[in-house]
Structure 1
Amino acid sequence: MKRQIIDTIEGYDTIIIHRHVRPDPDAYGSQIGLKELISLNYPNKKVLATGNHDSTLDFLAQPENVTDEDFQDALIIVTDTANTERIDDDRYKLGKYVIKIDHHPNDDTYGDLLWVDTNASSVSEMICELFEEAKAYKGWKMDKVVARLLFAGIVGDTGRFMFQSTTLQTMKYAGDLLSYEFNRTDLFNGMYEMDRNLLHLKGYVYENFEMDENGIGFVKLTKEILQKYNVAESEASLLVGSLAEVKGMKSWVFFIEDIKEIRVRLRSKGPVINTIAKKYGGGGHPLASGASVKTWEEADQVIEDLKKAVN
């Protein structure tokens, strides 16, 4: 499979790489890391990364402005995106051939060539695996720009190596990437430093979350609360992991209201919760999933579903 992907990459002059909407470090790490990796090894190819930029990821990189003409006869690679509804920039349909590289459950088998590994901690880890194969097969090389992006993706999706998805292979690849000597301090500052407004909202979360006797927790962040703290929905999403620090917490859900809907962010320390996300039109990993609802009544039903799933 990996060699087939490498051969396909070699066969196209233009390659456009997509990832999911509302990106996180693994989305950028795998997408733009792969873009930089291909560009490094095939400098005569036109390799582009597309999608709406999230300013919270300024410290990592930015996608390009891709025109409709760029898609003509292009190879499309979609990273870290489980289903077509979540692909950022639906012009992927204009390409000639589509490769899916992902580590979520393969519920939507889109694309002409699929490489899905649900045992991988992140798609950034999978790109490391692809590089190792290409290095042996075609003599590919890597530099610190690529290494920094892939390392950020691995760190982000493993929760700084604390999640159960972290394996011996994950740590090996992370160690290999560190040999390229990029500035880890600057990278971690970009990933984990918070503006004062967001820290104040984090304090609100700690003061106002609810948890029942079975370790099921939730917090509701309405538009009014976000406006009070002057925090955008995308920034508030960075706080979802904060309730993992609460002793006795088994599973929890963040509700974050924006203009059109209420974002649902489900997390768990053990019980499988992605089935709940799927019920509400979302999906994700067994212990980290997302969805959306339209009303606070639906949000309350999500809480009840979470309680039933864990109990």
Structure 2
Amino acid sequence: MKQEIINKIKEYDTIIIHRHVRPDPDAVGSQAGLKMLIQHHFPNKTVLLAGEQQSSLTFLANMDEISDGTYTGALVIVCDTANTERIDDQRYLLGKETIKIDHHPNLDHYGSIMWVDPTASSTSEMILELSLELEEDSNMNDEMARLLYAGIVADTGRFQFSNTTEKTFQYAGKLIKANFSRADIYNHLYETTLPVLRLEGYVLSELNVLPSGAGYVNLTKETLEQFQVTSKEAASIVNCFSSLKGLKAWVFFVEEEDVIRVRLRSKGPEIHELAGRFNGGGHPMASGASVSSWDETEQVLNELDDLCKMNP
């Protein structure tokens, strides 16, 4: 599969790389890391990054301005995106051919080539595998290594989550041979603001835990306005009480203008199928969804409660 992707890259002069909406460091790290990989080996190709600019992730990469016409005859590669609805910038459909590279469960089959590996810690880990098909790690591009390391660190929770494998550590060891500052990456990934810190204090005081071990927090628009925090910023504290004894799984309900974001996390019960029933998806231990009303959040919570009851 990796060689098929490399052969396709060789065929095209223009390659446009997409990722999912509301990107995280793995989405941008794998997307921009793939760009660096292609430019390192094929410097004459035009490689562009598509999607909305995320201010908190500009330390990794900036997105490119792309005209509709640029897609004509181009190869599109979509990184870290399980389903087509979540692809940032639906103009990916204008490309001549699409490749999917992802580590989420393959619930939505799209693209002429699909490389999906749910055993990988991150899509950044998969891009490193692609790199190793082309070169020895002793010749690794420094900027690519920085981007992929950031993606792996973020998606594994600094190597704490259960998706961290022996291979993940081996690959991280290869990446840190490159010339970049790990300290700078950690500082950017985990720095916070005073409003977000104060919201975290509010969340810790407002957390509700059901007898089953299911936890939940409701963050209304009014609460976000009170603390002067955006919905995207609130997502950064979804794990702030993950060490609580007896907690099995939890959900953040974050109200936006026209939708309520559902951020699900788990220490045991698999929650990605639950997310899929509510316009979402993701990993067995970390998923997202969306509902249109607070009545629907009760349905999500009831199902989460049932899952926790079935996982003593």
Query: Which band: TM-score by shorter chain?
Result: over 0.9
Report the 3-state secondary structure (helix = DSSP H, G, I; strand = E; otherwise coil) of the residue aligned with 1:241.
Answer: coil
2:114 — aligned with what? 114
Name the CA distance, whole Å, in 2 between partners of 1:239 and 1:245.
Answer: 13
Q: Distance in 1 between matches of 2:56 and 2:239?
A: 16
Question: Are 2:83 and 1:45 aligned?
Answer: no
CA distance in 2, matches of 1:140, 1:132: 10
Q: Counterpart amino acid of 1:56?
A: S
Query: 1:249-273, CA deviations, whole angstroms, 9 ceiling, x for partnerless residues?
Result: 1100001111110000000001111
Contact 1:253/1:266 (8 A) holds in 2 = yes
After superposition, the Cα gap between the structure-2 partners of 1:141 and 1:71, relative to the gap in structure 1 and judged at 3 Å, is: farther
Q: CA deviation at 1:140?
A: 10
Runs (4+) of structure 1 exceeding 2 A deviation are: 139-142
Contact 2:36 2:141 in 1 (8 A): no
Shift of 1:214: 2.3
Q: TM-score, normalised by structure 1?
A: 0.97
Contact 1:26/1:80 (<8 A) preserved: yes
- Measure, in 2, the Cα distance between the counterparts of 1:248 and 1:297: 27
Percent of counterpart pairs with the same letter?
53
Does the aligned pair in 2 maintain the 1:3–1:134 contact within 8 Å? no
Question: Corresponding residue for 2:277?
Answer: 279
Mapped partners of 2:75, 2:273: distance in 1: 33
Contact 1:216/1:252, CA 8 A, preserved across alignment: yes
Cα distance in structure 2, aligned partners of 1:56 and 1:235: 9
Corresponding residue for 1:259? 257
Which of 146, 153, 156 is the matching residue for 1:155?
153
Residue aligning to 2:286: 288
| 2:242 matches 1:244 | yes
In the alignment, the residues of structure 2 paired with residue 132 and residue 59 of structure 1 have an alpha-carbon distance, to the nearest angstrom, of: 25
Deviation at 1:58, TM superposition (A): 2.1
Whether the aligned pair in 2 keeps the contact of 1:41 and 1:141 (CA below 8 Å) is no
> RMSD value over aligned CA atoms?
1.2
Please give the alpha-carbon distance, in whole angstroms, between the structure 2 residues aligned to 1:306 and 1:189. Answer: 34
* SS in structure 2 at match of 1:242: coil
Q: Of the candidates 291, 295, 298, which is equivalent to residue 297 of structure 1? A: 295
Taking the aligned partners of 1:247 and 1:302, their CA distance within structure 2 comes to 22
Aligned amino acid, residue 220 of structure 1: N
Take 2:138 and 2:94, find their aligned partners in 1: how far apart are those partners? 29
Deviation at 1:61? Answer: 1.3
Match of 2:304 in 1: 306
User: 1:141/1:88 Cα in 2 relative to 1: closer, same or farther (>3 Å)?
Assistant: farther
* Aligned equivalent of 2:82: 82
Q: Quick check: 1:284–1:290 contact (8 Å CA) kept in 2?
A: yes
SS state of the match for residue 107, structure 1?
coil
SS in structure 2 opposite 1:37? helix
Change (3 A) 1:140 1:91: farther
Which residue in 2 is equivalent to 1:234? 232
Q: CA deviation at 1:134?
A: 1.7
Change (3 A) 1:109 1:141: farther
Say whether residues 1:179 and 2:177 are aligned partners. Answer: yes
SS in 2 for 1:244: coil
- Provide Cα deviations, 1:180-236, integer angstroms capped at 9, x if missing partner: 131111111100010111000011111111112221100011100100111111110
Native 8 Å contact 2:122 2:155 kept in 1? yes
Offset, 1:144: 1.5
Stretch deviating more after TM superposition (61-70 or 192-201): 61-70
CA distance in structure 2 between the aligned counterparts of 1:300 and 1:41, rounded to whole angstroms: 51
Do 1:21 and 1:88's aligned partners in 2 also have CA atoms closer than 8 Å?
yes
Partner of 1:27: 27
Tell me the equivalent position of 1:168: 166
Count of residues in correspondence between the two structures: 309
